[in-house]
Amino acid sequence: MTPTPTPEKTTVVIVGAGVAGLTLANLLLRNGVGCIVVEKHSRAYVEQRQRAGTIDTRGVRLFRTWGLDEVVEGNPITEAEGGFFIDGEEMPVDTGDDNESLYCPQQVLVRNLTDVFLRDGGDLRFEAAEVALEDVDGHSPLVRYQDGTGAAKTLGCDLIAGCDGHHGVSRASVPAAALTRFSHEYGYSWLSVLADVPAAHPSGMAIHSRGLAGLIPRGAKASRIYLQCPLDDTVEQWPDERIWSELDARFGTRVTTGPIADKRILPLRSVVYSPMRHGTLYLLGDAAHIVPPMSAKGINLALNDAEVLARAVIQQVRKGDGSLLDSYSDTCLSHIWNYQAFAAWITELMHNAGDSSYEGEFRKQIARAELQRQFTSPAANRLFSELTSGVN
């Protein structure tokens, strides 16, 4: 019989090296709290994942407050001049003097957070296979995994931060009866395409009677394309030529074409799990909630979760005060439901304003009137600057 390895000890084990996990890790490390990050994928894979492109003002100020300015500065990727188009006409977008949101694709932010964490002495273990969480109901939780050589490893800790996404092991480790799942299906799907096309004009979001479209830069030589499509559409119905033709039609002008690397159909939905804590296991980011990409808020919810948990852990370690840990779920969920409310509003507004076959011509005209109000209101108009620079 293979002997059970003696557990290594740390304060927090973080499962998942995405935005939530690495932000939490950096905040803890800078405040003297021991943590170990385990990630099932390789570093190369994690740093190439293409996702959200905008950090909102709240997120930017978070990094500055905690002395992590460098992870969002010196971004080598040039941002295209994003726009907002309705039936081919470009609308004015006012970013506002107080808007500090910035374009930073997830892979760039993750790379920067990884570099800083490792430079400062952080413990980050990639290619951790067969991760399993044990005794999360008790006082001595364990995280078991196999390292890159196949050797069994065991980590003992005070608490576990589950930052491994919607399909990760963290939430799956919580008994189903202990969680309530709230969800909403919007009735729209997007064809999501990753293309080897440099950032160019036009880019941003377009509303058209044929459906919504998005062309969002994801790096110096890559762009993410979104095309609203029926729920029962398949990828096979969208050959490359049709994709470029639809983008031309919905933006009302020719777009730059190039090789397409990936395409898939994404039904739009919102999901929230409550509570976000079970015993010594705390859920963060997509492990606890999903917002539709139209809202451009997924990355920012993950950042908020990380900051709330970091403050709670630091207070527990420094003062022996667990009150913030006890209130972690309620604190996060209050913020999350506010963002879900925005996500539902903007998702339905943007889709109803285009293709009337979904909700009818009456709802389309109401949505168009609301959009016109947004563009004539300087205060309201600024929210569209985030949508045009980085849908999730």
**What's the mean per-residue pLDDT of the chain?**
89
Mean pLDDT of 212-216: 92
Same domain? For 124 and 161 the reply is: yes
Nearest to 188 by CA among 321, 357, 309: 357
Q: Would the pLDDT of 79 be above 60?
A: no
Give residue 131's pLDDT band: very low, low, confident or very high (50, 70, 90).
Answer: very high
Same domain? For 244 and 364 the reply is: yes
Tell me if 350 is assigned to some domain.
Answer: no
Structural contact between residues 116 and 71, judged by C-beta atoms closer than 8 angstroms: yes
Q: What percent of the chain has pLDDT over 90?
A: 72
Tell me if 298 is assigned to some domain.
Answer: yes
> What pLDDT shows up at residue 52?
64
Tell me if 62 is assigned to some domain.
Answer: yes
What length is written for the chain? 392
Same domain? For 315 and 193 the reply is: no
Same domain? For 214 and 146 the reply is: no
More confident residue, 89 or 182: 182
Tell me if 35 is assigned to some domain.
Answer: yes
Tell me if 92 is assigned to some domain.
Answer: no
> What pLDDT shows up at residue 49?
76
> What pLDDT shows up at residue 149?
92
Mean pLDDT of 199-205: 79
Q: pTM of the entire structure?
A: 0.91
Q: Would the pLDDT of 77 be above 70?
A: no
> If 0-12 CB within 10 Å is exposed, 13-18 middle and 19+ buried, where does residue 24 land?
buried
Pairing of strands 12-15, 159-162: parallel
pLDDT tens-digit map of 342-390: 999 999 999 999 999 999 999 999 999 988 887 777 655 555 555 544 5
Tell me if 85 is assigned to some domain.
Answer: no
Interatomic CA distance for residues 51 and 111, integer angstroms: 13
Domain boundary among 342, 366, 382: 342
> What pLDDT shows up at residue 126?
97
> What pLDDT shows up at residue 23?
98
Same domain? For 62 and 17 the reply is: yes
Same domain? For 129 and 217 the reply is: no
Same domain? For 29 and 175 the reply is: yes
> What pLDDT shows up at residue 375?
77
> What pLDDT shows up at residue 382?
56
Q: Could you list the residue range(s) of the whole structural domain that residue 218 is in?
A: 186-268+356-390
Mean pLDDT of 53-79: 81
Same domain? For 243 and 218 the reply is: yes
Tell me if 114 is assigned to some domain.
Answer: yes
CATH (domain of 259): 3.30.9.10
pLDDT tens-digit map of 157-199: 999 999 999 999 999 999 999 999 999 999 999 999 999 988 6
Same domain? For 220 and 289 the reply is: no
pLDDT tens-digit map of 255-269: 989 999 999 999 999
Angle between helices 298-319 and 19-29 (to 10 degrees): 30
Q: Assign 3-class secondary structure to 42-58.
A: CHHHHCCCCCCCEECHH
CATH (domain of 297): 3.50.50.60
> What pLDDT shows up at residue 1?
43
Q: Give the gyration radius of the chain's Cα atoms.
A: 22
Mean pLDDT of 271-282: 98
Same domain? For 62 and 139 the reply is: yes
Please give the tally of structural domains in the chain: 2
pLDDT tens-digit map of 106-127: 888 999 999 999 999 999 999 9
Tell me if 228 is assigned to some domain.
Answer: yes
Interatomic CA distance for residues 318 and 341, integer angstroms: 36
Same domain? For 364 and 289 the reply is: no
Same domain? For 137 and 280 the reply is: yes
